Every structure is written in structure tokens, then in C-alpha cells.
Amino acid sequence: MKNKTIAIVFGAQSYEHEISIVSAIAMKKVLQHKLVYIFIDQNRSFYEIPADIIKSNLFSSGQYKKFGQLYLEKKGFFKKTLFGMKKLEFDVVLNLTHGGDGEDGVLASLFKFYEIPFIGPRVEASVVSFNKYLTKMYAKECGVKTIDYEYYTKDDEINIENFPVIIKPVRLGSSIGISIVHSKEELDYALDVAFEFDDAIIVEPFCKGIKEFNLAGTKANGEYLFSMVEEPSKGDILDFDKKYLDFNRTSQAQEAKVSKELINALEDSFKKLYNNLFEGALIRCDFFVLDGEVYINEINPIPGSMSNYLFSDFNSIITTILENLPKVNLIPINYEYVNTIQQAKGKA
């Protein structure tokens, strides 16, 4: 195994912009590959940030702007120099842009269009996991249970009779815009909050005391590589401090004390969801277990700090992924049809 150069892409127009910075910096501690950092600022300009001095206040202070701006063109990111455009050297991108732009398919599309190899969800996988409504229907189709829900858009009349419920904007990551509503009195405020972030929501019954288990993994070279199973020690909803800790994690998690049977059931559900939509990505599935049944809560196609803390050898997992990225087939275009028409016209 030769060490590669990985370009960590992070930031962007996203409610999770800041969390992405935290995740990106954490990679320095857990990857042995050479890293280069490509920051996308809130205006969607690209900057190369030197890996040896990267820290969070470079971004909040605006100092990142003193580093070189990059331009995305065919097959790479380029810097303007006195002698023309100079390509930034790296072997593969690791997409660490959480939330909008990163997980909604936009960056995956850019990398596809400009033919840049990357670790991360492809366009379809991004869309299916970013939109909770699409995740629900996808999971059902794969034969994996999800918690019952109602889907509402902004203009719908909303009737909720049984409480508590949990209200979630369909498109946001982490816990942004999510409320637990215990009674009718609390409903309007929670709806206002959710619709501030999105034009559609889902409403689920809130099952207090439900068990939650996280499992990360990937499929490379036809084989699944799984992390340990963790039972996250969360409160009802992650507040910012907890989320910060979550995205900043670099030390090994504690393995959940669960039966081999449950681990098998979780891995089984993971496989059904992963195959083959998520190829090229390391994802984390957040499952619920209720009365012995496994439910998928969320598919994180770019988990906080890549869930490195769930793997005993995270670096080699990333190496395996980057050496087995999905193949890209380019279509040969030979103008057969147009030529046929031209000839037909010529004969007429």
C-alpha cells in the first residue's frame, strides 16, 4: 500500500458548514495519507488551506482568503499563477462537506462532471439519503422498516392528534430544525421552526426510550467492511455541544454490548440499504431497535468525522475505498444519427 494524497473538501453553503470544518480538521489525526485541504466558503469559492496550519479560526476570521483561490475545471482544481493555471496535486477527493452542497448531490455532480475521483456518495445516493421522505420510501423498497410518518408540505393542512411527536424538516442533516412536541399547544411553534428550514416536513410518533444503534461501513471490491456497533449516549436530541464533540471525535468508541444476533440483523439491514447505491462512500446507518425489530432512522452518507472512531483501523478502510472507487464509463458519441439524417437529406 502506497500512501496517496487525499484532498479533503469541506465547508460550503450549508447549515452544517461549521461542523464540516470540525470534521475536516479531525482527519489530520486519523489519516496517515498526505492531506491537502480545499475549503468552500459560503460564497462557494474554493481555497487551498495548508494542512500544517489548518484550524477553525482561520475560517471565522476570514483569514482563509489570504490563501490561494482555486478554480474547478476538467480533472482538477487549479490555481492562477503568473505562468498560467497550475493544477493542485492529489489522487482523490474525500468529500467531507456535511449537509447542503455536500450531501444533497451537488458536489457529487460537480466531481462527476469535472471527472474528479472522490470518496463519498454519488448523486443518487446523496439525494435518497439527504431527503428523509425519499429515505423512507427507499428503505421500504429495500425491505428495511422505518418508523411510521406523515409527510406535509408548506401549504398542507396539518392535523396531529396523538402526542408526543417528533417534527423534522425533510432535508436537513443532524438535529437542525427538529422538535419534539408533547402537546397541541407546542405544535405551531415547532412547525414554524421546521418550515423555516425547509418547505416540507415529516412527523413521526416520538418513541421515548427507543434503543439507538449506529453502524458504519462500506463495500469495496465486492466485500462489506463494517465498523463496531455503537449505542450512542445521546439525550433526546443532540444539542450543539454534543454535536461538536461528535464531529470532533477521534478516539475509539466503546462497542455496544449487544448479542451477535442483533449485530447480524443490523449488518443485514445495512447491506440492503447500501447495495449498490452507496458505492464509493463510507456511510453510517443510525438504527432504532423496538420490540426486537430493526428500523432505519437515518442514513448518513458523510458521517461526522467519517465515523473514524467506530473503526479499529480507519486509515486502511479509507485506503481500501480509494483503491476501489466505482468505475466511470464515458459514452462514445459518434454522430451516427445526425450523419444518417445528413445523408438522407443529401439524397433527397
Binding site for a copy of itself (CB under 8 A): 13-15, 17-19, 21, 42-45, 56-57, 59-60, 71, 73-74, 100-101, 104-110, 112-115, 123-124, 127-128, 131, 133-134, 136-138, 140-141, 153, 199-200, 240, 244, 275-276, 330-333, 335-342
With respect to a copy of itself, which residue has the nearer C-beta, 105 or 303? 105
Which residue has 489525526 as its cell numbers? 29
Q: Report the DSSP pairing between strands 283-290 and 223-230.
A: unpaired
- Rounded to whole angstroms, how far apart are CA atoms 33 and 5? 6
Q: How far is CA 250 from the centre of its chain?
A: 18
Three cell numbers written together for 325: 472507487
With respect to a copy of itself, which residue has the nearer C-beta, 14 or 319? 14
With respect to a copy of itself, which residue has the nearer C-beta, 71 or 189? 71
DSSP 8-state secondary structure symbol assigned to residue 337: H
Beta carbons within 8 Å of 21's beta carbon, 6+ residues apart: 10, 11, 39, 56, 59
How near is the Cβ of 26 to a copy of itself at its closest, in Å? 13
Strands (E), 261-316: 283-290, 293-300
How near is the Cβ of 184 to a copy of itself at its closest, in Å? 27
With respect to a copy of itself, which residue has the nearer C-beta, 28 or 112? 112
With respect to a copy of itself, which residue has the nearer C-beta, 7 or 19? 19
How near is the Cβ of 281 to a copy of itself at its closest, in Å? 15
How near is the Cβ of 10 to a copy of itself at its closest, in Å? 13
Residues linked to residue 65 through DSSP beta bridges, in sequence order: none
Residue 272: phi, psi to the nearest 5? -60, -40
How near is the Cβ of 161 to a copy of itself at its closest, in Å? 22
